[in-house]
Structure formats: C-alpha cells, structure tokens
Amino acid sequence: MIAGLTGSFGSGKTTVTEYLKSRRIPVIDADEIAREVTAPGSPGMEVVLKTYGDDYRRADGGLDRKKLALRVFSNPDDLKRLEEIVHPLVRERELALLEKYKNEPLVVLSAPLLLEKGLDRYVDKILVVTISEEVRLRRLMKGHKMTREEITERLKSQMPQEEKARSADFIIDNSGTTKETQKRIDAVLKTLLEKKV
C-alpha cells in the first residue's frame, strides 16, 4: 500500500511525517529529497546557482533557501524554472525509494505538490493534512518568523487547501494539539493497515 501525503504550505505535513516515522512507517519526503539534491557540492545546487546567481550561495557554501524562496514565490517564471531544475531530480529519487520499499505493508510518499505534479498516479490512497487559516498564520508567523504577505505569496503558488481536500481519501485536521493530530493519524493507520494500532 502506497499512501500519498500532501497539504498546503504550513498545514503541518512535517508534524505528520515525524509521527509516521516514529511509528516505523517508511516515509519518502519530497522536501527532504529536494534539500539533498541541492546540498552543497551537488550538481543540483550548481545548476540553481548558475540560473539565479552566486549571491544565493551562503557564506558557509550552502544554498540560501530563504532568499531564493522570497524571489521565486513572488515571480511565477522564476518558480517554474526552479521546479524544472529540482523536480526531475526529486522524482528520480522518489521512484527509486518506492522500489526499495515495495515489500513494506505501507509506505508514505509525502509531497507538497503531490496532486499538482501528478504524483498521485503512483499512490493507492491520498491523505491530505488540513489546518484552519487562523492557526496556519499564527504558527508560521511565530515559528517561521514569516510575514502575512510571504505566507500569502507561498500559498498562491499551490492548489487551494479546499481543492486538495476534495481529492482526499483521508483528511487529517492539524488545527488542534499534537496529541489530537496523532490520534487522527492513528485512526488512518488503523484503516490502512487493517489491524489494531
């Protein structure tokens, strides 16, 4: 069973994936892979810097992801170019990991753009993490030190939460406490694995 996990920016996919990992469920995380394929010294990072300029290289040699995000999420053409560089590298790794975990009872493919990029064709069930707009803003402004405008720009580049939810086989509401979210994940796992969690 392959479950695709998605959600709009700031919905709390990381909270969900961390809990799944603690339950020993294999998770293929597109965000983690994207960081790996653009790590210092990687061909992906060099192509990004060649495309956008060396001023996106931090003093420690890493990619200045925050600075790059500010640019691409306010410019659709820049975002499209970045996706054309990074997404094929991420897809290749995702497919290799799906093959690696093919004998597991359950594997989760976590990707913010699961539906937008057609990754749902690789999964059996779709799990969508949702959150109230009020809680999303509060958590991102406090935890990520983002402005309301930065959050809005990021969300504009993605499919609206309501549309993602319509494609879901399971919805995990992450507006409450961590414990409440974990209980909801447990209920989904119980159904997916058809055994007591």
Closest to 86 (Cα-Cα) out of 60, 61, 112: 112
Distance CA 101, CA 99 (A): 6
**Hey, what CATH topology would domain 1-26+106-197 get?**
Rossmann fold (3.40.50)
Q: CA-CA distance, 5 to 26, in Å (whole number)? A: 12
pLDDT digits (tens, 9 = 90+) for 26-71: 999 999 999 999 999 899 999 999 999 999 999 999 999 999 999 9
Does the pTM exceed 0.75?
A: yes
pLDDT of residue 190: 93
- Rounded to an integer, the average pLDDT of 5-9 is 95
Domain spans in the chain, listed from the N-terminal domain onward: 1-26+106-197, 34-100
For residues 97 and 188, what is the distance between their CA atoms, to the nearest angstrom? 23
Which helix (H) or strand (E) segment holds residue 88: the answer is helix 76-100
